Amino acid sequence: MTVARFGVMLANLGTPDAPTPAAVRRYLAEFLWDERVIDVSRPLWWLILHGVILRIRPGKVAKAYASVWQEGGSPLLVIGRRQEQALRARLAERLGEEIPVELAMTYGTPSIEQAGLRLRDAGVERILVLPMYPQFSRTTTAAVFDRLARALKACPQLPELRFVRDYHDHSAYIAALANSVREHWRHNDDERGRLLMSYHGIPKRYADAGDPYPRHCETTSRLVAEALGLADDDWQMTYQSRFGREEWLKPYTDHTLRAWGKQGVKHVDVISPAFAADCLETLEELEVENREYFTQAGGKTYRYIPALNDRDEHIELFAQLIEQHTRGW
């Protein structure tokens, strides 16, 4: 059997196994216990998490998941599987050989441990880890690194590793985002609303402590706006998905949309560049919940532009990143 030169671990955040309170509770217990995500003192946070959050939130979150659930699972998992398959095919086409690609989730399944075992079973001794987070954050990309490091503690032999840190300003990524917006405009007879680029937020103190995430988001937004030829008042970037009571990165997406509706802005196009695949935060929070905020405040047309998902340009971006980071292997 011919052994591949290397394998690829395609990493994303994770998802519950089912849209039920029990499955969501298991998922949230794992996700929210990660110190990269919530860095509150462990004893205090355990009491808050298990005494309050995991008693209240799973039912509500399960209903939200149920509203977007697909036959093959959550959108993040279904799209992730399509990305995995498309990337295998693209790498075989570009490199002339079969490269193992395994989808891995930091929380839930398929886990990083499970993906690593499948790569090991394929005889892979070199692994490129590609977190599907264009902008680096301690809460996402660094959490992948931590989970992988913990998983490797049990391995008698370590694979050779390389790790893609971010690709927030990669030319192929910017072009793919800009082209998705142009395609959206063409499908709507070139009718253009004010463009809102909404990113998942993080607590402000994480950025104050050195997390480069907001700087990366700002760079991505500026480059996309430049590629589209937008004037400064044609677009804005914001942050969504706040959790808890402390201050997060501003401006907030929901507050901005309410303000625009009240100010007389009638047409809005919304894109979320930080998400490599559509998920609960885009399909329910952005497309449904925030649409209501805008229209109830006086806005008229609200259009969500899907994430890059398994678009050809997105898969090509991943292939370019892989070629770039595996030179010499």
Residue corresponding to tokens 């009718």: 191
Q: Please report the pLDDT score of residue 1 as a whole number.
A: 60
What does DSSP say about strands 126-131 and 160-163: parallel, antiparallel, or unpaired?
parallel
- 210, 212, 215, 217: CA torsion to nearest 10: -140
pLDDT tens, per residue, the chain with 329 residues: 678 999 999 999 999 999 999 999 999 999 999 999 999 999 999 999 999 999 999 999 999 999 999 999 999 999 999 999 999 999 999 999 999 999 999 999 999 999 999 999 999 999 999 999 999 999 999 999 999 999 999 888 899 999 999 999 999 999 999 999 999 999 998 889 999 999 999 999 999 999 999 999 999 999 999 999 999 999 999 999 999 899 999 999 999 999 999 999 999 999 999 999 999 999 999 999 999 999 999 999 999 999 999 999 999 999 999 999 999 99
Angle at 116 between CA 108 and CA 133, to 5 degrees: 60
Is the pTM for the entire model greater than 0.95?
A: yes
274 and 238 Cβ atoms separated by less than 8 Å: no
Q: Please report the pLDDT score of residue 26 as a whole number.
A: 98
Residue ranges at the known binding site for Fe(2+): 200, 281
**Domains and their CATH numbers in the chain:** 171-304 (3.40.50.1400)
Residue corresponding to tokens 């009240």: 262
Residue ranges at the known binding site: 200, 281
DSSP tally for the chain: helices H, then strands E: 13, 8
Order across the sheet with 267-271: list the strands.
Answer: 235-240, 194-200, 267-271, 301-304
